[in-house]
Structure 1
Amino acid sequence: MAHSEGGAWLDDEAGRLVRPYTVSNGRTQPSAHFDLLTLVMATGVRPQTYLGPDYDQVLALCDAPVSVAEVAAHLRLPAVITKVLLSDLVTHQALALRSPRPVEAASPTDRNLLEAVLHGLRKRL
């Protein structure tokens, strides 16, 4: 059994010994809306109460802007549990979030787009 630098106990064969639903106290609905591409960053404000080692690990990961997907990958937690942890930190004003900008979508019937896709497919075949 190994103790990682982030504080999560891991067993080489079994994985994380604390189950994900335990980390979020059984909650699966975040209080803030997060996309997997939403960027989060620590504000420098520390929560008034100690939330737990997983929250400390999240704050350490968020020194620079990082996506929700990256945080989940580093924590080795499902995205929904990671979103619950992040939303708790947003509620405590310890994290700021920025949603990804919507991309100007081309029309699905745009001839130039369709020709570019066709050209790309022909190159791969």
Structure 2
Amino acid sequence: MTPPQRRRRRPRERPPEPPAPPSPLAHPEGSEGEEGRDGPRNPERLYVLTGGGEDTDRAEVDLVTLVVARAAVPPPGIQPEQTALLRLCGTPLSVAEISAYLHLPFSVVTVLLTELLAAGLVRARAPIARQALPDRSLLEAVMHGLQKL
């Protein structure tokens, strides 16, 4: 009687992955600059998005400021990037998340948010700040509870 022969497992061939769906702000060929999707963007496009940077008044937002849209449907006549921003903000999102989802720099997102805040289409609030130091009585109560264990 001969022992059973083991067969080598060959890795299964995976079917080719379907192409990723286009983002809400898909760019035509050649508009992303010479370095492509991961490199810097076309600076002229960002200049147009921000309206030329003429306004120096920007909303006081930072990376953790939460933004939520006030209306479910964006009004007609606003930029496509602002429409995408309003659709994203159906639930509260931080400015950092918005910047990542839209593939735009933080400074450009702040300009877009300033315009939307002035129009009353979004609401922004700072995250809930915690106290600098915890309450001493709370720490003592926790310490006594741990000692009793």
TM-score (norm 2): 0.59
Q: Which has the larger radius of gyration?
A: 2
**Which residue, out of 23, 37, 41, partners 2:68?**
41
> Contact 2:25–2:81 (CA<8 Å) still a contact in 1?
yes
Q: Aligned in 2, Cα 1:38/1:32: closer, same or farther, shift over 3 Å?
A: same
**Which residue, out of 122, 125, 142, partners 1:95?**
122
Give the gaps of 5 or more residues in structure 2: 1-19, 134-149
Between 1:33-42 and 1:13-22, the stretch displaced more is 13-22
Q: Aligned in 2, Cα 1:30/1:8: closer, same or farther, shift over 3 Å?
A: farther
Does residue 37 of structure 2 align to residue 7 of structure 1? no
RMSD of Structure 2 on Structure 1 (CA): 3.0
Identity of aligned residues (%): 33
Give the gaps of 5 or more residues in structure 1: 107-125
Q: How do residues 6-85 of structure 1 correspond to structure 2 at under 5 angstroms?
A: 6-9=24-27, 11=29, 14-15=36-37, 19-27=45-53, 29=56, 31-44=58-71, 50-85=77-112
TM-score (norm 1): 0.69
